[in-house]
Amino acid sequence: MPWFEFLRHTDLCRMTYDGTANTTFENVSTAARIVENLKVPSTLKKPTEEVLHFVHDACALMREDNRYHNLKHSVDVTQCLYASLVATQLVSRARPLEIAAAIVAAICHDLDHPGYSNAFLNNEGSELS
């Protein structure tokens, strides 16, 4: 049996997973579990504790005042990617570094997002746009 096969039958590998009611602790734990399940620390040749500290820090930097681009959204995107990778068995066909990069990108994709569209920021003359 491939190393990832048992993951297909866990709660995180369901497209019906709903973490929107999760606490901050539960969301950070979910992100950490995904990182560990997909062997991101060993792929990056980093100690597990170091990678989990990074995940915790990235989660802590998500803006709580952002109604959509927040920690819950970040974990939702990460879980959806995880479920897709495992359910389709892409996790066995992609290179481990590609899997690790995709998971890290999913966790961080809206890090410090201001909550406004690029068009809005352009109209305001923001340096971010």
- Which residues make Cβ contacts (< 8 Å) with residue 92, sequence separation at least 6? 2, 4
For residues 36 and 82, the answer to whether their CB atoms sit within 8 Å is: no
* Three-class DSSP category at 36: helix
Using the structure block, give the residue that is written with the tokens 């901050």: 24
Mark whether 69 is an active-site residue: yes
Question: Among 9, 53, 56, 69, which one carries the catalytic annotation?
Answer: 69
Residues annotated as part of the active site = 69
